[in-house]
Chain A
């Protein structure tokens, strides 16, 4: 089942001024798999996701989603592709001015043009799926804790039953118990939808829980890929240093 690449990133490069973030970056994500990109802060993990989503345009290379070239498409042209993608942002990125239910139903009402009643019914079902009760439907994001915001963000990401879901550092800023809850929810939601998942994180507990395959990003390139078991067994010094969280190794500790 895990065979066809649903996302094909081929030799993309992205710079900001003189700073080269992605250099000759290539990666395939196969249908139905959960791939996690690991790497230190500032290595270009978020930039990768933004390039795939069309929020940033790579200077070189190709990005294909479902076999269609998307690199260089305008934001409007990307809207159709993004209709098949869900995204959980690092800080949840809930719309402050909208209630929880309006946040979750947003893509259904604005994107898919569902009637409000139908969109709300689906939104309530998704909230229930992430362990939130009906009672918070009318609350606003400012009333919620960090963990609850992440859950609402997850409900919003899965509301339109996307084929691909991106998770940008899903457990950052959460306590270990809540992080585990979010990891479990990610696994169950992705499995239930049969979606392809691409996550970026530096939380190794999260990696072990949600990844089918792991890719390590360093200096703008993928330097290693493998399963979680292979990650634990590899002698690759970059992986060993990162997994063990050691300051000794080939990855320099940058102190600004």
Chain B
């Protein structure tokens, strides 16, 4: 009997949490598309999400491209299909690695920082203070952050695509002795709009997930430093899991047919 009570409680808690998150998402979307907009805050968040995340995204996609080239060559040479290296690098970077790696890196950097910042603001009553100063916290704090995530992640991934492909090129040409012109030509010939677009759509969705969950966890944090710490961890863990789940769903939508 006690087990059933516990199970029921867990289920109710799950439904409550889902309801809270859904309401938060709907409110956020409403304030994202209705004026007034805080352009100054939006711009500073775009710099924070985009510009300052560039080094970490560049490094991860560079090395991902390099390692994909190396592994593909190692695996495919036994099938005498070394020429597929540029194609594999291109597809894996644009469709999967650049958006997922950028998403996970930004989740660690931006999701955590948003949760910590908003969490601290919450526990020190700064968010309450905003309301008393006739400023809607959703409009002033959350909408600019979420919009920045939606807009900047695709840009980061686009740059990540280029850098990742360059990583493959570096290994292909300087380590595996491919002809530079042939490698570039075959890469260019294999480029398809759908590969790039699917990656950018993923990036936009990941940007939304990261910033939304970072803000949600921070905005709902309780109980001082420990609560802020928990909010930060939850933001990173939940957004990382959702990134991987939505990566599969979007891949299904784009490529299943």
Contact = CB atoms under 8 A, between A and B. Distances in A.
B126 A79 contact: no
A111 B125 contact: no
A82 B134 CA distance: 6
A94 B124 CA distance: 9
B131 interface: yes
Contacts of A110: 133-135, 140
Nearest to A108: B133
B77 interface: no
Interface in A61-114: 75-76, 78-80, 82-83, 85-87, 89-91, 93-96, 106-107, 110-112
B132 to A, nearest CB: 4
A220 interface: no
A91 B125 contact: yes
Interface in A8-64: 50, 53-55
B18 interface: no
Given A55-B131, A75-B131, A93 B125 contact: yes
A89 B129 contact: yes
Kindly state the interface size class of chain B when it binds its partner: 10 to 19
A106 B124 CA distance: 17
A90 B137 CA distance: 20
B133 A96 contact: no
Contacts of B125: 89-91, 93
Interface string A115-155: 00000000000000000000000000000000000000000
Max chain A C-beta neighbours (<10 A), residue from B121, B128, B134, B140: B134
Nearest to B31: A76
Q: For the complex, would chain B's binding face be called helix, strand, loop or mixed by DSSP majority? A: helix
Contacts of A95: 121, 126, 129-130
Contact of B128 (A85, A93, A107, A112): A93
B71 interface: no
B136 interface: yes
Contact of B136 (A79, A83, A166): A79
Given A50-B128, A91-B125, A93-B124, A75 B133 contact: no
B126 A82 contact: no
A82 B140 contact: no
Given A54-B131, A75-B131, A78-B131, A96 B126 contact: yes
Contacts of B126: 93-96
Interface in B142-188: none
B31 to A, nearest CB: 9
A54 B136 CA distance: 12
Contact of B134 (A91, A107, A166): A107
B134 A111 contact: yes
Nearest to A97: B117
A82 B131 contact: yes
Interface of B: 120-121, 124-126, 128-138, 140
13 contacts: A75-B136, A76-B136, A79-B135, A86-B132, A91-B124, A93-B129, A95-B121, A95-B126, A96-B126, A107-B134, A107-B135, A110-B134, A156-B133
Interface of A: 50, 53-55, 75-76, 78-80, 82-83, 85-87, 89-91, 93-96, 106-107, 110-112, 156, 166
The 5 closest A-B pairs by CB, nearest first: A111-B134, A93-B129, A93-B125, A107-B133, A87-B132
